[in-house]
Chains A and B, each alone.
Chain A
Amino acid sequence: MRLQLDTFSYPGDEHPTLHGIDLAVQAGDCVLVAGGSGSGKSTLARILAAVLPGRHGGVLTARFDMGGETLWFSAGGQHSARPDDPASALAATSPDVVNPRINAAVWNRHLAYVGQDPSAQLSTVAATVAEEIAFALENSGMDRVLMKERVRLTARDLGLTDLLQRNPNELSGGEQRRMIIASAAALNPDFLVLDEPTAGLDADARRYVRTMIESLLARGAGIVLLTPELGGIGRLAARVHLLDGGRIVASGPRSTMLRSAEAARLPLLPDAVDTASAAVAAAAEEANDGGPGALPHAVQAQPVAELQDVVYRYGDQRRRRLTALSKRSLLRRPTVLDGVNLTLRAGERVAIAGANGAGKSTLLRHLNGLARPESGTVRILDRNIAGEPVGSVARDVAYLFQDPQDQLFERTVAREVAYGMPVEDSEDRDAAVQHALERCGLTALAQEHPYELPASARRLVALATVLVRRPSLLAMDEPTVSMDRDGVDRLARAIKVEAARGAAVAVVTHNLDFAYAHCSRLVLLSSGRIVADGPFMHVLEQHFGGGEAFGVQAPAAWMRSKGVDSI
């Protein structure tokens, strides 16, 4: 496969989003396209997937060699003939045209694509995980017997066998991501394009995805990974292209590119294993010993939030009596939190980690009343918040949702950040909004629509909505996912500043490399119970001797300091 792209512009845009791209992938090759927020990664992925330009319009000038065919796209090309063209299977229109309409089902067999947001990729017509995995196979017209076998094997390879009969909507974000990857991999495509395939995945899930990619590579498939990370799953890539401003600015073997000046200049996340840097160790040392969020001081500080014996099961306990679940049927539902006790104090920076489905997000949702315990109490500052509306708890607790799509609803970034701020003193409010935008590097984007921004910038908008409120407690669910280095740096600074002014910060994360550098305390959750809680270093020493505990991978920098290679 080879894409030689001259330019691509979205409809109405003066400047091209992508230009001067030459991406060739051979059978059995793994290629990493690394770029920061807004570099054009997702646009490139969607062009490879033939979603763009498609019905979106836009202007693409490119030559695409795929499956033995050459497809031409031209800005001025109106169905012009090209010489010596064989009958095209890929194009839905007559083969001898420029700008062909792609036959999605055939294209998909050659090149399958998995986008950033797994929930947006659900078919919505599948009743079970097995059917969702089979969706792409159904579209390719595969025989049912063969399809069942393919689904079974792919599910086994990705650790989804136990979930096959579940409803896809009931899976966690990480499980949904694996399911969508399984659906693409089940096609056994010639090429697989994966946009941030391991975002939000726990250690086990990452291993499954990695093994899956390795087995596809061994079978001769070509893989294109797009992420802002140089490490992680990107370590499978032999070749790296660095994308900046819609252009490939450097290409070469991974070992060379890691230490290139371009890699250092761009807002890419360095490989924690290769570069477990002194800066990370220093930051971790500060967070754990001398920093304002250090536990010895924090223990003296006032509790901001207290969860006492909290038990929670799925099933809405606030429903009206007529439709509420009976106590018996409620008790049959699985326990998500099972007797959780947790105190968060002013100035603390607490990381909450655990495998996918361990109950981390549910725990966090109890802190502002989005989830209510079946039994037990939740206290914020000096009050029990049972029966208190979420909107009222929000005075003291700011919540960062796992998916920014769930957080953002306004028409511009500025309106989004200002939402819910007191209107009595509009000057103060405007100044606070301006300050939050500056802290998140969003001043120039204040009038943009939040949905139109790249994933990393969307996350920063969500962060700004939290910071502007100056809450006593910041509850953040997977804040680092999809962020580039600039975003991660701003997040780290925000956590430090907020803790220093006396707020408690609770961060649910799979990214223990980030948590190690910026949090002082580590809470581990497994099957709805807290299995470890204490100063970060202490918990690492106690539980992570083997490099991994409770589905969580130890920080690479810490492993390196112990002289052990990360997985």
Chain B
Amino acid sequence: MVSAAPPRLGRLSPLTVLCAAVVIAVTTTALNSWAVSAGVLLGLAVLLASVGLGRKVLPAAAVIMVPFGLSLLLTHGLFFPEGRSVLWTFGPARVTAEGLFFAASMGLRTAVFVVVFLAFSFHVQPADLMALLTKYRTPPQLGFVLCSALTIAPAIAARARRVAQAQQARGLVTGSGLRGRLAAVREQAVPLVLALLHEAGSRADSLEARGFGGRSRRTSYREVTDSRAQQVFRTMLLAALLAFLVFWYGAR
């Protein structure tokens, strides 16, 4: 069974996509405008939907953003000392227009950050990234850490599933709904952390035993397209970002 090819943003190299993600995230944060953040989010949603990544990225972003958004609303929406335009009060809580605006603006900025980096992690194949970093003679350990960061969520999820199955096979019945899920998390947290630590230790051993991390220069079996044009584009993009940051913060 050959796994389905991941959706592709044309023939863009992972480094180009990473560069674009960094530029979008940094610029949006620097501009600090809810309108810009909302516009960028809309643009990203359209782009991701058109390349077939929307169904993967947007639910994952929602999982992160919904609790985060709620916590922003609770902290800034209800308790914003600088707020003057009071919309509603209940005991010590004051809902102010400024508080809501602050929460919304921060939420939108964070959402841009979350969506671009999730899009990057879903788009890029860790093997492609590793191959490119090897090509540019990045220390292999750094490449491995970056690739592991991309695969850590599915790896943890897979291990958590195995722990859950082991417990269920021994009689654990977790209820449905939020309460059941919380009970399952409580039951699985310690075994999961112990298993992940054990796994990380044995993985490090076996990588070493397979010659990883030696002094020799590493080569790559996998070939990844990364044209000269893309390299030039990346350099220009990063230079433009730097110039923008100097201008933006210098002008203030």
Greatest chain B CB density within 10 A among A104, A106, A108 is at A104
Q: What 10 A-B pairs come out closest when comparing CB atoms? A: A105-B214, A108-B211, A409-B191, A391-B173, A139-B211, A134-B221, A420-B171, A420-B170, A127-B127, A390-B168
Within 8 A of A (CB), among B145-200: 147-148, 151, 155, 162-163, 165-174, 190-191, 194-195, 198-199
Is there contact, CB below 8 Å, between A104 and B208?
A: yes
Contact residue among A113, A138, A184 (Cβ-Cβ distance under 8 Å from B219): A138
Cα distance, A120 to B172, chains bound together (Å): 27
Within 8 A of A (CB), among B77-127: 125-127
Indicate if B207 sits at the interface (CB-CB under 8 A).
yes
Residues of B within 8 A of A125 (CB): 126-127, 130, 143-144, 147
Within 8 A of B (CB), among A102-148: 103-109, 112-113, 115, 117, 120-121, 123-128, 130-131, 134-144, 147-148
* CB of A184, distance to nearest CB on chain B (Å): 8
* CB of B215, distance to nearest CB on chain A (Å): 5
Interface CB pairs A-B, < 8 A, 26: A46-B209, A51-B209, A92-B215, A103-B216, A104-B208, A104-B209, A105-B212, A108-B211, A120-B206, A121-B206, A121-B209, A124-B151, A125-B143, A139-B213, A139-B218, A148-B221, A166-B3, A170-B3, A322-B59, A334-B1, A368-B169, A390-B168, A391-B167, A398-B169, A420-B171, A465-B170
Q: A125-B127, A127-B127 are in contact. Are A144 and B219 (CB under 8 A)?
A: yes
Cα distance, A140 to B216, chains bound together (Å): 7
Indicate if B252 sits at the interface (CB-CB under 8 A).
no
Is there contact, CB below 8 Å, between B221 and A137?
A: yes
Is there contact, CB below 8 Å, between B212 and A123?
A: yes
Indicate if A411 sits at the interface (CB-CB under 8 A).
yes
Q: Give the A-binding residues of B (Cβ under 8 A).
A: 1-3, 59, 125-128, 130, 134, 140, 143-144, 147-148, 151, 155, 162-163, 165-174, 190-191, 194-195, 198-199, 202-223
Cα distance, A368 to B173, chains bound together (Å): 13
Cα distance, A45 to B212, chains bound together (Å): 18
Cα distance, A121 to B161, chains bound together (Å): 20
Residues of A within 8 A of B204 (CB): 55
* CB of B63, distance to nearest CB on chain A (Å): 12
**Closest residue of chain B to A134, judged by CB?**
B221
* CB of A506, distance to nearest CB on chain B (Å): 14
* CB of B78, distance to nearest CB on chain A (Å): 32
Contact residue among A139, A143, A390 (Cβ-Cβ distance under 8 Å from B169): A390
Q: A139-B212, A420-B171 are in contact. Are A406 and B125 (CB under 8 A)?
A: no
Within 8 A of B (CB), among A334-352: 334
Greatest chain A CB density within 10 A among B2, B144, B168, B206 is at B206
Cα distance, A183 to B212, chains bound together (Å): 13
